[in-house]
Chain A
Amino acid sequence: MSILEKISIPRDNVNDEAVLIKNIYVKDNEKVNPDTLLLDYETSKANFEIQSNVTGFVKILCNEGDTIEIGQNVIIISDKKESQEKESSKTLEIEQSFSKKALQKIDELKIDNKIFRDEKLITEKIVLDYYNKNKKG
C-alpha cells in the first residue's frame, strides 16, 4: 500500500494557529476521486473546503468538531484499503526508533529489523551486539 496524498490544514491566514473541523463528507476506506469533497473547516475569518486531488481510499485522522493545528494531517489517501494487519505493524513502528547508523548496519548485515521489536531505541551498538552474538552462536 502506498500513500497517494496527505491532506493537511493549510495556513489560510496569519492569525490562526488552528481551525475547527465542521463537516467530514467521507468515511474510512471510502473510494474518492479527484474533486470529491472531503471536509470543510472554519477559520477565524471564513469557512474553507478541501477536495481530493487523486483517486484512492481515505483514512480519516480527525473528527467533526475537532480543533486542528495548521499543518496537521487530517486525511490520508492511499492506493489500497487499509487492513488490520498493516495497522498493527504501523503501531509497532511508532514505538521504536532506529538511528541512521543502526539502519545502515541492519541493511549492510541483512538483518530483519523485526528482531529488535523488544527494543525501543535501536543504536548501531545494539545491532552489532546482536550480530556478533548470533554469529558466534
Chain B
Amino acid sequence: MIELNKLTDFELAITIRAVEEKFLDLFECGALNGTVHTCIGQELSAVSFCRQLYEDDYVFSNHRCHGHFIAFTKEYQSLISELMGKISGVCGGVGGSQHLCNKNFFSNGPQGSLTPVALGAAKACKLLNNNRLVVCFIGDGTMGEGIIYESMNMVSLYKVPLIFICENNLYAQSTPISKNLAGSIKKRAESFGLDIFQGDTWDYNNLSKKAKHAIEYAREGNPVFFIVDTYRLKAHSKGDDDREKEEVNRYNKLDVLNKELQNDNRLMTFYKEIKSEIDSYVNEAMNHEELSLHKYLDFDKTENTYTPKWDSHSINIEDKQVNQINQYFNQAIRNNDKLIFIGEDIEDPYGGAFKVTKGLSTAYQKNVINTPISEAGIVGMGIGMSLLGYRPFVEIMFGDFISYSYDQILTNASKFFFMYNKQVSIPLTIRTPMGGGRGYGPTHSQSIEKLFNGINNIQIVAMNTLIDSTHILRSLEKYSHTTILIENKLDYGRLKNKIPKTGQYNFVKSISDYPIIIGSPENIKPEISIITYGGSVHIVLETIDEIFYEFEVLPKIVVLTKLYPLPLEMIESSVSDTKIILTLEESNVEGGIGSDIIAGLAELKNMKGKQYKRIGSRNVPIPSTRSLEEKTIVNSNDILNTIRSIM
C-alpha cells in the first residue's frame, strides 16, 4: 500500500485528484448517497498548507473538504468508506462528504459556521501555550456570511495562532464573484488588522513558500488571512455546472497538475498506481457493513435516566440567586482551571449586566474572557474551546439575544456528537436570563426557550428560586453535552419565596441531577396540578390563596428544572393523582414547553381522561408600559380565568 506521508507534494495532490475522480465515478453509478463537492483544480492549496502543519495542529474545513482531509491526515481509505456510507468510514458513514472528523480535523458544510469554532480552538491553544496552530479553510462564497466577520474581529483582537485560508475559486456555487461580492476580500480582512498573505495554485513553489512563512508567523500568535486564488475544474457538486466551457477549458490548461501529468512520466505512472489502489479499496469497501440504527442511537444515557426517589425540601432562600451562582464559580474555578467564562461585559469592574460574574475576572484573569457583542461568535468560540478540553460557560446578556447564536447551537453544538459518530462531545453551557417584568420592552423581556426545544442533544435547564442554584450548576459541570441554562431576571435578586397563606404546603424534591420540586397542600387533596418552571413559579405561589378563596381547592405545584428532554415519567408520577393538569409558562403557549408537557402526558396510557390546559402570555411583543406589560405577561388572573373556565 502506498504510504501518503512519503509522497511528494505533487503525488499527494494527484492522490486527492484520483480519490475525487473516483467519487465522481461512484456518484455517476449511484454508489454514493447524497452529494459530492470536489476540489479538483484546487488540490495544491490543501497540500501547501496541510503538508507543513504538525500532526497535532488543528484543521477546520468546509463542504469542499476532501483535499484538506487527505493532505492533513495522510490517508484516504476512511474518507472513501465515509462517502460510501460504510461503518469503516471516518465517521461511520454518518457524516458523508461534508462532515468529517478525525483527531484534530473537523469539517462542516454550512458556510462560515466553523470559523468561530476555529477561533475557540485557537484561543484554547493560546491558553494552553502548546505551540499549536489552527488552520481554517473558507471560500470566497463564505465572505457573504456575517459570522466570518465576528470571527475575524475576535481572532485579531485575541491574537490567537490561526490562519484563515480563503480559497477564492471565483464562484459561490453557481454565482460568479462579480455578482456576489462587493469591494475586495483582501480589504475586508485587512480592516480587521489581520496580516494578509496571498498566493495561487498556478505557482506552487511560491504558494508553498508563503504558506510556510504564514504558518511560522501565525504560530507565534500573529493571526493571518491567506487568500489562495484558484479554480475549481469540476462542478460545484454533482453535475450543476453552468460556467462557460471556454473558461473551464482555459483553467484546465493552466492547471499545474494537468501540466505535470503531461510532462512527468513518473507522476503519470504514480497516478495510474494510486488509481488502481483506490479501485481495489473501493471494491473491498463495497463489502463493508453500514452502521445499524441500534449502534447509531447507542450511547451512555445514564445522565438522562431518572430515579423516582423524593426527599423533603425547604424552599427558604439562603442567599440571592445571583450570589449563589457567583460564589459557586468562585469555588469551582479554584478546583477546575478548565472552567471558562465567556461573555459580553463580564469582566470587572462591570461584572456582567446582572453582576453574576462580579469579582471573577479579578480572581481568575485567565478564566474570564470578555468579548465583543457577538453572540454567535462567542457561542462558537465556546464550542471550539470545548473541543480542546475546556468547560466553557457562555453568558448571553439577555435571553432575547440567544437567537443570534441559533446556528452555532443547531449546526455545531447539537450535531458534532452524532454527526462525527461520537468521537467528540461539546460540554458547553449557555447561560441566559429570560423573562419580563422590568419594563425592558419587546426585545429584552421575552422567554424564548421554547425556540430551542427539541433540538437533538441540546438540553434545556431552567433555574428557579425554590432550589439552590449550586445543585444545578454542579450537575452541569459534570454533563458531557451542551445545555441552555435559563435564568430569570426577577429571580436573581429574590430574597424569599412567597409561602401560601392558605393550607400548609409541604415541598419535596426528586433526587436527581435536575430535580422536580412538588408542593402539595397538607389539609386538602389537590384536584389540580400546575406544572411550571423558572420565574413563573412565583405567579403560582402568589395565586394559591386566591384559588382557594374562589374555588375552595388547592393546587399541587410541580416545578421542573429540566425542560428538554422532559422527565416525563417523573412528571407523570407527580400529577397522575389530579384530574386537572395545567401548565404555566411565561412565553405564549403556542409551540411552547407546556404543549410538549401535555402532549407527552396525553400519550401515556395511565393519563387518559385528564383535563389539560396551557396558560401563558399573550402572543404580542411585550410592551414597555408598566400597566400594559403586567397584563400582557402571564399573571394570576390568567390562572384564575383558566380554572374558572374548567371548574
Interface residues of A, Cβ cutoff 8 Å to B: 14, 16-18, 67-69, 94, 97-102, 120-121, 123-125
Contact = CB atoms under 8 A, between A and B. Distances in A.
B579 interface: no
Contacts of A17: 490, 492-495
14 contacts: A14-B440, A18-B320, A18-B493, A18-B494, A68-B495, A69-B494, A69-B495, A97-B549, A98-B549, A99-B551, A100-B550, A120-B523, A121-B502, A121-B523
A67 B322 CA distance: 15
Contacts of B551: 99
Contacts of A68: 495
A97 B495 contact: no
Contacts of A69: 494-496
Contacts of A98: 549
B440 A97 contact: no
A16 B493 contact: yes
B646 to A, nearest CB: 18
Interface string B148-174: 000000000000000000000000000
Nearest to A95: B501
A110 B113 CA distance: 75
A94 to B, nearest CB: 6
A94 B551 CA distance: 19
B492 A99 contact: no
Nearest to A99: B552
B501 A94 contact: yes
A101 B552 contact: yes
Contacts of B545: 97
Interface in B539-568: 545, 548-552, 554
A121 B549 CA distance: 10
A120 B493 contact: no
B275 to A, nearest CB: 69
Contact of A124 (B320, B493, B504, B552): B552
B439 interface: yes
Contacts of B496: 69
Nearest to B504: A120
Contacts of B503: 97, 120-121
Nearest to A66: B495
B490 to A, nearest CB: 6
Interface of A is mostly: mixed
Contacts of A120: 503-504, 523
A124 B550 CA distance: 11
Given A120-B504, A121-B502, A100 B549 contact: yes
A14 B439 contact: yes
Given A18-B494, A100-B549, 18 more contacts: A17-B492, A18-B493, A67-B495, A69-B494, A69-B496, A94-B501, A97-B503, A97-B545, A97-B548, A99-B548, A100-B550, A102-B552, A120-B523, A121-B502, A121-B503, A121-B524, A121-B548, A124-B552
A99 B550 contact: yes
Nearest to B493: A17
A98 B549 CA distance: 6
Interface of B: 320, 438-440, 490, 492-496, 501-504, 523-524, 545, 548-552, 554
Nearest to A103: B549
Contacts of B504: 120
Nearest to B546: A100
A123 B496 CA distance: 29
Q: Which of A102, A123, A125 has the most CB of B within 10 A?
A: A123
Nearest to A119: B523
A31 to B, nearest CB: 31
Contacts of A99: 548-552
Contacts of A121: 502-503, 523-524, 548, 554
Contacts of A94: 501
Nearest to B439: A14
A100 B502 CA distance: 13
B495 A18 contact: yes
A98 B503 CA distance: 11
A101 B553 CA distance: 12
B46 to A, nearest CB: 53
Q: Which of B523, B548, B551, B554 has the most CB of A within 10 A?
A: B548
Contacts of B523: 120-121
Contacts of A124: 552
Nearest to A94: B501
A25 to B, nearest CB: 23
Contacts of B492: 17
B526 to A, nearest CB: 12
Contacts of B493: 16-18
Nearest to A16: B493
Contacts of B554: 121
A92 B554 CA distance: 20
Nearest to B498: A69
A20 to B, nearest CB: 11
Nearest to A102: B552
Give me the 6 closest cross-chain CB pairs, A-B, nearest first. Answer: A17-B493, A97-B502, A123-B552, A99-B552, A14-B438, A100-B549
Q: Which of A98, A100, A102, A121 has the most CB of B within 10 A?
A: A121
A120 B523 CA distance: 8
Contacts of B548: 97, 99, 121
A129 to B, nearest CB: 13
B399 to A, nearest CB: 16
A56 B554 CA distance: 39
Nearest to B548: A97
A17 B433 CA distance: 15
A99 B551 CA distance: 7
A14 B551 CA distance: 35
Nearest to A14: B438
B325 to A, nearest CB: 15
Nearest to A98: B549
Q: Which of B320, B440, B502, B503 has the most CB of A within 10 A?
A: B502
A10 to B, nearest CB: 12
Nearest to A70: B493
B288 to A, nearest CB: 61
A7 B216 CA distance: 70
B519 to A, nearest CB: 16
B146 to A, nearest CB: 31
B501 A97 contact: yes
A68 B551 CA distance: 32
A71 to B, nearest CB: 11
Nearest to A123: B552
Contacts of B438: 14
B439 to A, nearest CB: 6
A133 to B, nearest CB: 19
A41 B490 CA distance: 20
